[in-house]
Structure 1
Amino acid sequence: MRIGVVADTHLRARHSTLPKALVHVLTGVDLIVHAGDWMDPSIVRLFESIAPVEAVAGNNDGEELAARFGYRKVLELAGFRIGLVHGDGGRSTPDTAYAAFCSSDSAHDSIDAIIFGHSHIPYEEVRHGVLLFNPGSPTDKRRQSLYSFGTLELGDTIQARHYYYEDKS
């Protein structure tokens, strides 16, 4: 199973397209997972035109997105349990995301991976056997030099990959 991983799009309703580099890689994925901060419910349709979407709302999303997606969930995909959360609310975004699903530094509560966003910083770490993955942002790079997003390949293991690009048109 191939999953597109996105977070922190921060797009308003006036946007009618997604970046070409993002669409190119996401075309053909089985599922798109979005870790919040859509900013506008209309943006969901842009992603749904590519593939089915699973998501959570972020701290910049309104009531409609929060009611539709919630703020935290566990996806069961291809035999893996994947936690999905935006990651806001703590000093360290990876630590906040990890704590949302794992009760201690040695127990991972049957979670294989955690997808999160919030920081706009691409991130990948395996902590106590749990993959922590932040795709960065495909449209709001902030202090990062490049826009980014990711994919997960679910097979015998989980393989994560970041994609980077300069032009968000």
Structure 2
Amino acid sequence: MGGGRRYRATVAARPGDGPVSVKTGLIADTQGSFDVQALLQHVASEFAGVDEIWHAGDWGSDAVLAGLRKLGPLVVINGNAPDDPRYPATMERMVGGRRVGMIHHLDARHQAWARGFDVVIHAHTHRWRDEIVGGTRFINPGTATRPQFGGTERTIARLTFDDELMVEKLMVPKFPIPTVRRGGGSGPEVDMISP
């Protein structure tokens, strides 16, 4: 499976919660020009066996969300591109004995909100983050499709909520849009059109 790098968390389940193992696929910032079907095939392979898929906001095409829904239960939060009122701005739930919050843009206005969680999932920066600050684990899966703001990686994550929280950083290759070239040839034309 994908050759992701694995990190072990120090955030343990709360005593008395009993044995629980929940696997979650985490993806965000699926924007830009890319082959949607190729991305979905890659994600299907990396997220095989997860209990849910969480999209932490910003998608360039509803085809991405439709494809993710075919892979399993999907939780989506609203981002800023698009700003889509069909989806909530935040998610809050208990997972594996931990209080988990998810928000797209974790800015200064949301710092007090974030302190109330064991784990905070966020996105917006298009850059990977896995860091513990003040007892809260902050995870940003980065972007699956469009590195920017100084980032160069395309990443998603697989989370396993168990006695410990395991976070796997999974690299995503670039999926150029296949096009037909003038003169009848075919081949990848990168960043020419959006899905």
Same fold by TM-score, threshold 0.5 exceeded?
Answer: yes
Structure 1 counterpart of 2:91, from 66, 73, 87: 73
Q: Residue 3 of structure 1: CA displacement?
A: 0.6
Residue identity opposite 2:151 in structure 1 = Q
Percent identity between matched residues is 22
Check 1:2–1:52 CA distance in 2 against 1; reply closer, same or farther (3 A cut): same
- For the 8 Å contact 1:73–1:85, the answer to whether it is kept is yes
Matched, 1:47 2:68: yes
Gaps of 5+ in 1: 103-107
TM-score (norm 1): 0.79
Moved over 4 A (4+): none
TM-score (norm 2): 0.69
What's the CA shift string for 1:95-152, capped at 9, x where partnerless? Answer: 666x1623xxxxx32x110011101000110111111000011111234332101111
Matched, 1:37 2:44: no
Number of the residue aligned with 2:24: 3
Number of the residue aligned with 2:181: none
Number of the residue aligned with 2:170: 163
Matched, 1:86 2:98: no
Q: Which protein is richer in strand relative to its size?
A: 2
1:1-169 matches, within 5 Å, as 1-10=22-31, 15-63=36-84, 66-67=85-86, 69-87=87-105, 90=107, 99=111, 101-102=113-114, 108-109=115-116, 111-142=117-148, 143-168=150-175
Inter-partner Cα distance in structure 1 for 2:109 and 2:132: 15
Q: Which of these two proteins has the greater Rg computed from alpha carbons? A: 2
| Number of residue pairs aligned between Structure 1 and Structure 2 | 153
- For the 8 Å contact 1:19–1:168, the answer to whether it is kept is no
Gaps of 5+ in 2: 1-21, 177-195
Inter-partner Cα distance in structure 2 for 1:96 and 1:124: 21
RMSD of Structure 2 on Structure 1 (CA):
2.3
Q: Residue 22 of structure 1: CA displacement?
A: 2.5
Inter-partner Cα distance in structure 2 for 1:24 and 1:96: 37
Q: Residue 161 of structure 1: CA displacement?
A: 1.8
